[in-house]
Chain A
Amino acid sequence: MIKFAWIIPLFPLVAFLLLMIGRRKLSEGAAASIGVAGVLASLSLSVAVFLERLQSPSNYVATFDWLRIDQVMVTMGIEVDALGTLMLLVVSLVSFLVFVYARGYMRGDQRFSTFYAYLSLFAFAMLSLVLSPNLLQIYLFWELVGVGSFLLIGFWTFKPEAKAAAKKAFVVTRIGDVAFFVAILLTFWKVGSLELSQVFAAVESGQLAPEIVTTIAILIFIGAVGKSGQFPLHTWLPDAMEGPTPVSALIHAATMVAAGVYLVARTYPLFLASPIAMDVVAYVGVFTAIFAATIALVQNDIKRVLAYSTVSQLGYMMFALGSAGYVAGIFHLTTHAFFKALLFLAAGAVIVSCQRQQDIRQMGGLWAKNRTVGSLFLIGALAIAGVPPLSGFFSKDAILLAAYQDGRYIVFLVGVLAAFLTAFYVFRLFFLIFGGSYRGKEPVVSVPKVMVWPMIILAVFAVATGFVNFPTDAFANWLVEGNGIVAQTASTPWWLPVGMTILSIIGIAMAWILYGKRSVAVSSFGEPGPLPYRLLARKYYVDEIYDRVFVRSLKGLGLILQAFDRFIIEGLVKGIAGIISWLGRIGSRLQNGQAQSYVLVSLIGLILLVVSFTAGRLLK
């Protein structure tokens, strides 16, 4: 079955083509069926591949020659390893559930079929990305998922914010992509091959100088920073919440933003060979984790809180990888995909039931009105807060343990603090939405059934995924088998899980005291507030700083260039044209229809002729 893994991405591609061809004709039901059928086929094949990979832990590689560059052959193909198999399963499962969910969420949208077409295109690109055996192919699909993200963020083209957010996402991630591309060129130049296996072999044999390895690893990491919304390129991710909620759940929580983490994990031998690169990954990751968590404390848009939470959790995965916690990072990627997708889908259900209201100041008291969504959201919140025995508890512990064992105590402590903040802000969100009394104006409506059961499945995964690595290290052993990366198997100190559990319960309790018990009046929000509050509410002014430093200076440069074009280049063009037409006007003034002036002109001509002949003869 593993031999047919290359077919997995093709189902969504076919669905995309069908939907694009028939996007004007298809009814909503037909379009959704095509899209769901595509990912369902991918999902079943992915499950089959996963089961087979479980039994026979050997990688499967199949390639064909694609391009010849001098002596080097660039190939295309697939490589099915443990990480790829896991990603296939996660991506296709979350995609399938989100596709089903979108049937309810996007009901009545004018471009319903187009939405499913774009989603299918994204699923195709993402599934191909995780199967890629070489850097060039990864880059190809890396950009294609970026296109899918761009199209879907800006899907509601009538919203100017959505269009601006789509452009921002595209431009900001492009900064990282350029670095990634430079890394690819550098690799090709130094190693002479783009195949990951050959690159790793070159690193292991010491063929590459350490500084080159460091440069390549850091450049790849910058690419991952762009895609995974790490500081300082995180600004696009919260803005991307302008897209429809299923998109946020699938692309900007579960899959595409995790592609950066996946990339670092995929090229992990490069990072392992370079302590500096590992430091960079760890510190950028942990800084992002705490930075985004503090911003999430005060945001008032339900999806923005979750977006900053995603940024923060991606920071967790990064610093896990940077602390040699390969398994921990991937483990958290998996659990996060489930519980964050669950949170986003539940948020989407809340938004639908509040009639497209996203401001949590206009919500409240929804527990009584919609207990199903409430309890699903609660499961997601408990999972992300790290309450045992939900999945987030295990993966977060694994990450902190990795940082602790790697001797990065600062990273460890900041990570613990970020975990506490996570518990606090997510339950602030929960209590503001579901606790207290309803503060909105529009009546609450019910949520379609088709949106509820994907969430139930995700909730099952969010609860249960943690047990794949507990009580035995089955997951860790399976993931690292045969790829040369050592899994950390040292036993957990007893105080870590206990302390973390107590910390998250304190966080939840504080959120309950501040936002749950006291039903907060609307007027207590939104005031200018003290300085730290304002600093957080304005997201540390990062957008403003970028606007001042980069956007304006580039705009200034643009203005200068425009002036050069307008006045100098265009001045030359217009000057030449002006001289010609001035000559033409003089010529046309001669031809005024007056026979007498014609005679005068010919007389002058005659005189000139006579004078010049005479002069010529005299001078001879």
Chain B
Amino acid sequence: MPVTSYLVLAAILFCIGLYGVLTKRNAVIVLLSIELMLSAANINFVAFSKYGLYANVTGQVFSLFSIAVTAAEAAVGLAILIALYRRRGTVEMDQFHSLKG
């Protein structure tokens, strides 16, 4: 089944992204890892729109939407990072702990 190989690829990509989000200290890398996870989701969309049980074009359209949203998210995320860097002088994730109760 060709869909299986797409899904495995997406799962591997998602796991790499998740690993990056959880372990990397640099916020830019974390942002990139999030992009990776979103790409994995997009691959799933496309794969199911081609080989799914009810294959139709909606999945591809949705993945286009998703890419647009991701681009916006990356822009906003990077902007926040720059603001953070200006304010705190670092992009290390573990320095941002003002949420601590």
Q: Which A residues form the contact surface with B (CB < 8 A)?
A: 588, 591-596, 599-600, 603
What are 14 A-B pairs with beta-carbon distances under 8 A?
A591-B99, A591-B101, A592-B97, A593-B96, A593-B98, A593-B100, A594-B93, A594-B97, A596-B21, A596-B22, A599-B21, A599-B22, A600-B22, A603-B22
Mark out the residues of chain B between 13 and 32 whose CB falls within 8 Å of any chain A CB in the assembled complex: 18, 21-23, 30
Contact check: which of B21, B96, B97, B101 meets A588 at CB < 8 Å? Answer: B101
Closest beta carbon of chain A to B68's beta carbon, Å: 25
- In the assembled complex, the Cα of A599 lies from the Cα of B96 at a distance in Å of 14
In contact, A595 and B101 (Cβ under 8 angstroms): no
Q: Kindly list 5 other residue pairs between chains A and B, CB separation below 8 angstroms, not including A594-B94, A596-B93.
A: A593-B97, A593-B98, A593-B99, A596-B94, A600-B22
What residue in chain B is nearest A597 (Cβ atoms)? B22
Instruction: With CB as the reference atom, state the residue of chain A lying closest to B25.
Output: A596
In whole Å, how far is A183's beta carbon from the nearest beta carbon of chain B?
A: 68
- B79-101 interface (Cβ within 8 A of A): 93-94, 96-101
B40 to chain A, nearest CB (A): 15
Q: Roughly how many angstroms separate A592 CA and B95 CA in the complex, as a whole number?
A: 11
Q: How many of chain B's residues touch chain A, expressed as a range?
A: 10 to 19
Q: Please measure, in the bound complex, the distance between the C-alpha atom of A220 and the C-alpha atom of B22, giving whole angstroms.
A: 87
Cross-chain pair count, CB within 8 angstroms: 31
Q: In whole Å, how far is A66's beta carbon from the nearest beta carbon of chain B?
A: 66
Partner of B99, one of A588, A595, A600, A603: A595
The CA-CA distance from A588 to B100 in the complex, in Å, is 9
B99 partner residues in chain A, CB cutoff 8 A:
591, 593, 595
CB distance from A607 to the nearest CB of B (A): 11
User: What is the distance, in angstroms, from B9's C-beta to the closest C-beta of chain A?
Assistant: 21
Residues in A with CB closer than 8 Å to B101 are 588, 591, 593
A613–B96 Cα gap in the complex (Å)?
Answer: 35
A592 to B101, CA, bound (A): 7
Q: Give, as a whole number of angstroms, the nearest-CB distance from A566 to chain B.
A: 35
Minimum distance in angstroms from B30 CB to a CB of chain A: 8
- B18, B22, B100: the one within 8 Å of A592 (CB): B100
In the bound complex, residues from chain B placing their C-beta under 8 Å from that of A596 are: 21-23, 30, 93-94
> When chains A and B are docked, how far (Å) is the Cα of A592 from the Cα of B96?
10
In the complex, the answer to whether B96 meets A595 with C-beta atoms within 8 Å is: yes
**In the bound complex, how far is the Cα of B22 from the Cα of A593, in angstroms?**
14
B55–chain A nearest beta-carbon distance, Å: 27
For A603, list chain B residues within 8 Å (CB). Answer: 18, 22
> How many angstroms from the CA of A603 to the CA of B18 in the assembled complex?
9
Complex CA–CA separation, A603 to B22 (angstroms): 10
**Which B residues lie within 8 Å of A591 (CB)?**
99-101
